[in-house]
Amino acid sequence: MAVDAFAASNSIGSRSLRFCGLRREVLGFKSLSSTRLVASSPQRHLKKVSASLSENGTSSKGFDYDLVIIGAGVGGHGAALHAVEEGLKTAIIEGDVVGGTCVNRGCVPSKALLAASGRMRELQNEHHMKAFGLQVAAAGYDRQGVADHANNLASKIRSNLTNSMKALGVDILTGFGTILGPQKVKVGSTDKFDGKTVITSDHALKLEFVPDWIAIIGSGYIGLEFSDVYTALGSEVTFVEALDQLMPGFDPEIGKLAQRVLINPRKIDYHTGVFASKITPAKDGKPVTIELIDAKTKEPKDTLEVDAALIATGRAPFTKGLGLENINVETQRGFVPVDECMRVIDANGNLVPHLYCIGDANGKMMLAHAASAQGISVVEQVCGKDHVLNHLSIPAACFTHPEISMVGLTEPQAREKAEKEGFEISIAKTSFKANTKALAENEGEGLAKLIYRPDSGEILGVHIFGLHAADLIHEASNAIAMGTRIQDIKFAVHAHPTLSEVLDELFKAAKVKVSVSSPVGEPVAV
Amino acid sequence: MLTLRSAQTLQLTPPRLLRPFSLLYLIILFISLYRFNSIQLNELIKPNSKTLNSLSFYTMASSLLQSRIPAISFSSSLSSGIQWRASAAFPAKPRRKSSPVQAKIREIFMPALSSTMTEGKIVSWIKSEGDVLSKGESVVVVESDKADMDVETFYDGILAAIVVGEGETAPVGAPIGLLAETEEEIGEAKAKAANSSSAPSTHPPAASTPPPPSAVAPPPPAKAAAPVPTDGPRKIVATPYAKKLAKQHKIDINSVVGTGPFGRITAADIEAAAGIAPSKSTIANVASVAATPAPVAAAPPPKAAANNFVEIPGSTVVPFTTMQSAVSKNMVESLSVPTFRVGYPVATDALDTLYEKVKPKGVTMTALLAKAAAMALAQHPVVNASCKDGKSFTYNSSINIAVAVAINGGLITPVLQDADKLDLYLLSQKWKELVEKARAKQLQPNEYNSGTFTLSNLGMFGVDRFDAILPPGQGAIMAVGASKPTVVADKDGFFSVKSKMLVNVTADHRVIYGADLAAFLQTFSKIVENPDSLTM
């Protein structure tokens, strides 16, 4: 499943599954209108689901389940819950722990670390406290305590997920799921799983030590969040970024502002346009060394000597061992090819019946909530309803202090699209400095940016940098999902004084040429 | 920063420009001048004349300066700026007109973007050194307490040097960059930039930097020391924060010997090299061994330890307002001036009679006292003088009576300019206007910082006598007590009851001596006792 902002770096080991021991097989018959799906999800364990659906959801004669999901991450969990609600007999296969990357190694524990380190940062900021009239004696932290908080949170969420599925009657099958053929899935053993080679954010989340100086390879969401954690706990950070600028993927303006607030004033420096070609762990009294080469010329550029290195360049899909070869599906860079409805495409470009793939495994959008949304969309289709998920309505967030969030297109993307399709775009911006609640919190640093079509009032993208940006984005993402136009949403009322007024201001600042539209437009699928 | 600049300015601008509150007012000044219009560098790029800061440039109350403005603003040069400083003696001859118009190196100043902005942070330089700028182009993004704004240039030229780098902070009016007109001048501008950035007065370290401990500052240990023998040409490894600090304090990182793990240069090494106290920024992992909760409580509040003030439970701390901060700063500054006090009883019967008479015409007691003081000062110019540098008298050409007014928990001193020349009624009218403006917070800087002598009256509270603190930059302040019926005996032994008030003048003994003050008080007393001259 997906992870919200976590990428794993390497590898999760080979998954040669031996199917000795117990193996359960799920066989499917061909039922009449059997829609079956196998959704395979990303991440570490993939989940794939093969299911057959019989009429009205009672168990089909020949099939063990209507729907089998391989991988119990957030995507699989979301799909399972929705499937039960739709009356499908559902099983979920998990070879490791329930919750997947997000809950165990990704967004969830990292949020715990960020919550602790964010408070630490605040308490250390004498100027900030003074502005409230507060005095704080020397603030300090207990590393183990912080690490425990992250661990406890992960296990709590894990058991919540497990219990919610159990309570609804989802069968949780333990083992690695492998597709044997159409509508046929095998549950293998759980041994042979090698997770040791992962040195990455997984490890960092355990917070086993706080280095004086850590190099973070990659300055995307994950790297940025970790820099937030480590600098708050006293480390100095060096970013290594392959692209020419930090924070690729963010709207450039937001990235610039974020750099000004999250990087420049902190104990962080960076090397851009370089690859970390070789990382030598610390040993024999020598520090960790990282050799940098120019990203374009591949010439050696520099060598860093640091106390620790964190690889945060993105998570790899975990699609080996799924048995994709049995159904003639070839992965592309590890990702399972799918169409816009998550239907798996085989090597000949044909759709594989009854098999769907969601989450990190398809690489469309490696975010936990995207996986979950994809899973729900698949269940809808399995149940015979047309549903296409609009990925442009899926928000993303980076939980630094302050947070960054976005939905839809960035400004350059929007401009490109506008040029291609021949429409105009406009930009509206509002500042947190004008927001009462933000000022009350002494957190006036921030910007919200709206990219829209002045001719129709359609929202193309919203980007927020500021206090609680991750919570604020949903008004915009919902509007995009529902097809709500600016000229309509700007009449919606926001409580005062709240941060949500930042978006209120934003919508009001937009200059749309049409004044009236139907109260709620038709949802636009993209 | 401002005070340093002020000191420079003092010599050639009339001292009234730099009164106690000048810090505060600079800002207000900028607002009124810029009126939040689009900020263009034509207003910000001023000729490079260090002796003229923006304050004096715009305040121009004095006719002296006014006559020179054109020369200053449009054709200055580096060298002429220096010359001018040299010719700093008080009524400076306008010799700058004769100075040749040479290089056109203009300073780019930190603009004031809002009324509350005292310093601004450079968000980013849109242009880099060596870029050719054309009129109207955005050059730099400045962050104020309100917003980020692009600052444009009004001149064509070449961005020769960036004096204040990205992320650094500079006070309003400080030069942040240099603009050269031609390529030949770039070198000169760079040299200039190097000078100015090494001078702390033009380039203060970021506010967060701890002040250098005066006594403790060790000599930069590593600088100029022989390179530590290492195996081969080892590359220099410095932590991110160390690099930042080095840049901030202009330390050449290559000259610092690292003492951190693996010989790397840490922030502590840079701090040692810069001779500043180590910041206590290292964040303690308080309980890595014994993971017991609440280890923090044991630490005593460092603040209490620092200044030995016992913290009384339940006390509340209210930070100073801007005005209160300015007062506080001036009061502390006043401690450096050797003052003394002379008191004098003044009979007020005649004054009271006069007051009754002129009161219906709108004359206030304040105006009467100010007028009387001004007339006395006219006869005793030394009491209207001040000592700016510890080496000279500065005689003021006008007599401007500042009157202390308590306002909203603060204190401000509206100034009755040329109080000796205006008649009583005009003076009263003027006073009324000033008070209105003070209440509405609309006083212009020269209306509160141009005083040459201050009057403080607590008589209305029944205070019989008090002494006042001399505001820095002035020579004397008069504290007026209440007028009370007093039994007096004349030389023939007859008793009578006369109204008397005690006035007490605090003066700077470097320029005003006891006899000066006594003579002044005697004159003042005579004027008050025979007040008819006040109405003339």
Task: Supply the DSSP string of A30-89, one letter for each residue.
Answer: --TT----EEE--SSS---EE----GGGSPPSS-S-SEEEE--SHHHHHHHHHHHHTT--
The CA distances from residue A291 to A271, A286, A297, in Å, are 12, 14, 14
Top pLDDT among A300 and B301 is at: A300
Q: Give the CA-trace dihedral at B416, B417, B420, B425, to 10 degrees.
A: -50
- The reported pLDDT for the residue numbered B115 is 60
Contacts of A286 in chain B (CB under 8 A): 262
Residue A16 lies in a domain: no
Local confidence band at B218 (pLDDT 50, 70, 90 cut-offs): very low
pLDDT at A22: 35
Lowest mean pLDDT among A65-79, A118-132, B106-120, B156-170: B106-120
Nearest to B483 by CA among B465, B468, B505: B465
Give yes or no: residues B347 and B481 share one domain. yes
Instruction: Say what percent of chain A tops pLDDT 70.
Output: 84
Report the pLDDT value the prediction gives residue B24, as an integer from 0 to 100.
41
| Same domain? A375 vs A399 | no
More confident residue, B437 or A44: B437
* B66 has a pLDDT exceeding 80: no
The lowest-confidence range among A80-94, A361-375, B109-123 is B109-123
Q: Are residues B113 and B259 in the same domain?
A: no
Across B437-464, average pLDDT: 86
Does residue B360 share a domain with residue B503? yes
Q: Does some domain include residue A45?
A: no
Chain A, nearest residue to B123 by Cα: A260
Interatomic CA distance for residues A438 and A403, integer angstroms: 13
The answer to whether residue B399 is domain-embedded is yes
| Higher per-residue confidence, A448 vs B443 | A448
Determine the structural domain holding residue A219 and report its residue range: 201-311
Query: Within a domain: residue A52?
Result: no
The answer to whether the Cβ–Cβ distance between B261 and A212 falls below 8 Å is: yes
Helix (H, G, I), strand (E, B) or coil at B505: strand
Domain-located, residue A85: yes
Q: Are A273 and A244 in contact (CB under 8 A)?
A: yes
Q: Please give the sequence-ordered ranges of beta strands (E in DSSP) within B449-494, or none if there are none.
A: 453-457, 476-489
> Is A366 marked as a binding-site residue?
yes
- Asked if B251 and B274 touch (Cβ cutoff 8 Å), the reply is yes
- What is the number of domains present in chain A? 4
- Is the domain of B177 the same as that of B260? no
Residue A256 binned pLDDT confidence (cut-offs 50, 70, 90): confident
Please identify among residues 222-281 of chain A the ones whose CB lies closer than 8 Å to any CB of chain B.
232-234, 236-238, 256, 260, 264-265, 267-269
Chain B residues touching A135 at Cβ < 8 A: 301, 303, 317
Q: With an 8 Å Cβ cutoff, are B287 and A305 in contact? A: no
Across residues B61-72, what is the average pLDDT? 35
- Cα–Cα distance measured from residue B7 to residue B23, given in angstroms and rounded to the nearest whole number: 12
B166, B261, B303: residue with CB nearest A135 = B303
CA distance A77 to B243: 47
In a shared domain, residues A296 and A343: no
Q: CA A9 → CA A44, A70, A190, distances in Å?
A: 11, 21, 22
Distances (CA, A) of B458 to A165, B237, B355, B470, B504: 80, 65, 18, 16, 12
Count of domains in chain B?
3
Mean pLDDT, rounded, of chain B: 71
Q: Looking at beta carbons, which residues of chain B come within 8 Å of A142?
A: 285-288, 291, 293, 295
User: If you search the block for the tokens 């701090």, which residue do you land on?
Assistant: B271
Q: Find out whether A446 is annotated in a ligand binding site.
A: no
Helices B349-358 and B365-379 meet at what angle, rounded to 10? 120
**Chain A residues lying within 8 Å of B264, measured CB to CB:** 213, 305
A115 occurs within a structural domain: yes
Residues B371 and B454 in one domain: yes
Same domain as A341, residue A296:
no
User: Is B167 near chain A, with CB under 8 Å?
Assistant: yes
Supply the pLDDT for residue B1: 39
What Å distances lie between residue A23 and A14, A17, A36, A44, CA to CA?
19, 11, 21, 20
pLDDT greater at residue B200 or residue B128: B128
Whether residue A276 is found in the same domain as residue A209: yes
In terms of domains, do A407 and A340 share one? no
Domain contains A369: yes
Q: Is the pLDDT of residue A156 over 80?
A: yes
CATH code for the domain in which residue A247 is found = 3.50.50.60
What number is the average pLDDT over the span B404-418? Answer: 85
Q: Domain ends where: A283, A311, A339? A: A311
Same domain, A429 and A492: yes
Please give the residue range of the domain that contains residue B436: 328-534
| Distance in Å from the first CA to the final CA of chain A | 23
Per-residue pLDDT band at B282 (split at 50, 70, 90): low
- Please say if the pLDDT value at position A312 is more than 60: yes
* Average pLDDT over every residue of B263-268: 87
Residues B342 and B253 in one domain: no
Residues A421 and A479 in one domain: yes
Highest mean pLDDT among A25-29, B135-139, B232-236, B435-439: B435-439
Please measure the distance between the N-terminal and C-terminal CA atoms of chain B and give it in whole angstroms: 45
> For residue B345, which of B527, B500, B496, B480 has the smallest C-alpha distance?
B500
Residue A225 annotated as part of some ligand binding site: yes
pLDDT of B520 above 50 = yes
DSSP helix/strand/coil, A303:
strand
Whether B291 and A145 lie within 8 Å, measured CB to CB: yes
Is B219 buried (19+), middle (13-18) or exposed (0-12) by CB count in 10 A? Answer: exposed
Looking at residue A42, its pLDDT comes to: 37
pLDDT tens digits, A92-109: 999 888 888 888 888 888
Mark yes or no for CB contact A142/B147 under 8 Å. Answer: no
Does one domain contain both B251 and B169?
A: no
Shared domain check, B335 and B265: no
- B296·A138 Cβ contact <8 A: yes
B150 and B257 belong to one structural domain:
no
Tell me whether residue B432 is in a domain.
yes
- Interface size A-B, in CB pairs within 8 Å, comes to 96
pLDDT at A339: 92
Q: How far apart are CA A224 and CA A221, in angstroms?
A: 5
A255-283 mean pLDDT: 88
- A503 and A406, same structural domain? yes
**Measured between alpha carbons, how far is residue A50 from residues A61, A191, A343, A354, A389 in Å?**
15, 23, 12, 6, 20
| Dihedral sign, Cα of residue A219, residue A223, residue A225, residue A230 | negative
Residues A344 and A402 both lie in one domain:
no
Bridge-based pairing of strands A38-40 and A351-357 is: parallel
Whether residue B402 lies inside any domain: the answer is yes
Please give the residue of chain A at the shortest CA–CA distance from B144.
A433
Average pLDDT (B148-161) is 79
Q: Of B136, B168, B195, which residue sits at a domain end?
A: B195
In a domain, B283, yes or no: no
A101 vs chain B: nearest CA distance in angstroms?
A: 28
Contact partners, residue A426, CB within 8 Å, separation at least 6? A451, A452, A453, A454, A510, A511
Residue B343 belongs to some domain of the structure: yes
Co-location of B155 and B259 in the same domain: no
B347-364 average pLDDT score: 90
Amino acid at B523: T
Are B246 and B191 found together in one domain?
no
Q: Is B286 on the interface with A (CB under 8 A)?
A: yes
The rounded distance, in Å, linking the Cα atoms of A165 and A158 is 11
Tell me which of A107-116, A415-424, B210-219 is least confident: B210-219
pLDDT at position B38 is 39
Give a yes or no: residue A207 inside a domain.
yes
Calculate the CA dihedral of residues B144, B149, B155, B161 and round it to 10 degrees. 60
Q: Supply the CATH number for residue B505's domain.
A: 3.30.559.10
Least confident of A477-481, B314-318, B475-479: B314-318
State the residue for tokens 């290292």: B282
Indicate if A296 and A260 belong to the same structural domain. yes
The reply to whether A419 falls in a domain is yes
Q: Are both B137 and B251 inside the same structural domain?
A: no
Residues 144-163 of A with CB under 8 A from B: 144-145
Shared-domain flag, residues A396 and A338:
no
Of B166, B195, B224, which closes a domain? B195
Q: Which of B132, B118, B123 is nearest to B3 (CA)?
A: B118
Contact yes or no for A335/A362 (Cβ under 8 A): yes
- Burial string for B405-421 (b: 16+ CB within 10 Å, else e) reads beeeebbbbbbbbbbbe
Q: Alpha carbon of A156 to those of A102, A151, A162: distances in Å?
A: 13, 9, 10
Which DSSP symbol is given to B249? T
The dihedral built from the CA positions of residue A512, A518, A520 and A523, taken in this order, carries a sign that is negative
Helix (H, G, I), strand (E, B) or coil at B68: coil
The whole-number pLDDT of residue B279 equals 58
The average pLDDT across B427-431 equals 91
Residue B288 forms contact with A (CB below 8 Å): yes
Catalytic residues of A: 496
**Residue of B203, B249, B380, B509 with catalytic role:** B509
**Alpha-carbon distance A309 to nearest alpha carbon in chain B (angstroms):** 14
When pLDDT is averaged across residues A106-114 and rounded to a whole number, the result is: 89
Residue A246 and residue A303 in one domain: yes
Instruction: Tell me what the mean pLDDT of segment A393-403 comes to.
Output: 94
Q: How far apart are CA A444 and CA B181, in angstroms?
A: 39
Of residues A499 and B162, which shows the higher confidence score? A499
Q: Which pLDDT belongs to residue B378?
A: 93
Q: Is B89 helix (H, G, I), strand (E, B) or coil?
A: coil
Give the position of tokens 């915009």: A476
Is the bond preceding B218 in cis, omega lying within 30 degrees of 0? no
